[in-house]
A and B are shown apart, each in its own frame.
Chain A
Amino acid sequence: MAASNSSKLFRVGRSILGGLSNNALGASRPSSQLADMDFRSQQTRTFIQMRTSLKVVDNSGAKRVMCIQALKGKKGARLGDVIVASVKEAHVGGKVKKGDVHYAVVVRAAMPRGRCDGSEVKFDDNAVVLINKQGEPIGTRVFGPVPHELRKKKHLKILSLAEQIA
């Protein structure tokens, strides 16, 4: 549907002035933003498995990574587990580049995870922090809330860097 829309817009742009086509493009932007919002509200509440795309919430330079291996669990990784991830999008001049393979800790997961007292916790999105082989974070800052379960998993450095602990 989007493809057909864009082709129509393109035709309009060609037939009339260029300025008009610019306007048409401007009008189409909110719809794409809305689609993005929809995607966020419908964040899949499943295990982190192979090909899961995750947000990176540190300043290592990566923006988006893809899970290529969950190091724990038969079905996949959950909140607090370590995965192997391939960098799909990265900032220019960061510590990591696109195509790099790194270890990462899942610090936020949309799938509910049981707590030690029997209650459950879940987050808005799926997010990771990149770590090196020794388990130390590659970046020097961590954004957003992280769960206190990371203490049990021995990721104390991430906990101390985090803004909020939930």
Chain B
Amino acid sequence: MRLEKCWFCSSTVYPGHGIQFVRNDAKIFRFCRSKCHKNFKMKRNPRKVKWTKAYRRLHGKDMTQDSTFEFERKRNRPERYDRNVTENTLAAIKKIDKVRVDREARHHAKRMKPKKAQLQREAARELEQNISMVKAPGALQQDPSLTLPIKVKVSKPEKVDNRMEE
């Protein structure tokens, strides 16, 4: 059984799932679910719809270039069955998948990290522009109008214990 990719969202279409549309020029459009099929019927472009893989790849949200993707490529040549090769492949799938997941996590972490230098530069610029608004501590003490009125805590009388006596 071959696991196909959805034409719209690029997710895997497992056997028995979804619908496929055959255009008159024999191009086959496979869809993983009715959501993707409906979006196709509405003539939406998957590159412009934010939740699709095509959009995420195009806008640098996901990892695009990686050697682990090479293993998942579609091959048109059927492989001759060999027990040892199959065993090795099954073992390798797990390892490769782990590597891919780790790399994707690293990519995500790198993308989410704020740009430290840029933030610092922006803060420095703001400080330089608005330095006139900051007063020295000595000036504040001399002119009380510059400081906010100090709130004085009023101590409340303690509550009298007036429980009902039994």
Contact = CB atoms under 8 A, between A and B. Distances in A.
B69 interface: no
B60 interface: no
Interface in B35-80: none
Interface in B1-37: 13, 15-24, 26, 28
Interface residues of B, number: 13
Contact of B20 (A118, A119, A163): A119
A125 interface: yes
A102 interface: no
A43 B16 CA distance: 26
Contacts, number: 46
Interface string B96-139: 00000000000000000000000000000000000000000000
Contacts of B18: 119-120
B19 A144 contact: no
B162 to A, nearest CB: 76
A118 B16 contact: yes
Nearest to B20: A121
A124 B22 contact: yes
A122 B15 contact: no
A120 to B, nearest CB: 4
Nearest to B13: A119
9 contacts: A112-B19, A117-B16, A118-B15, A119-B18, A122-B19, A145-B24, A163-B26, A164-B26, A166-B28
Interface of B: 13, 15-24, 26, 28
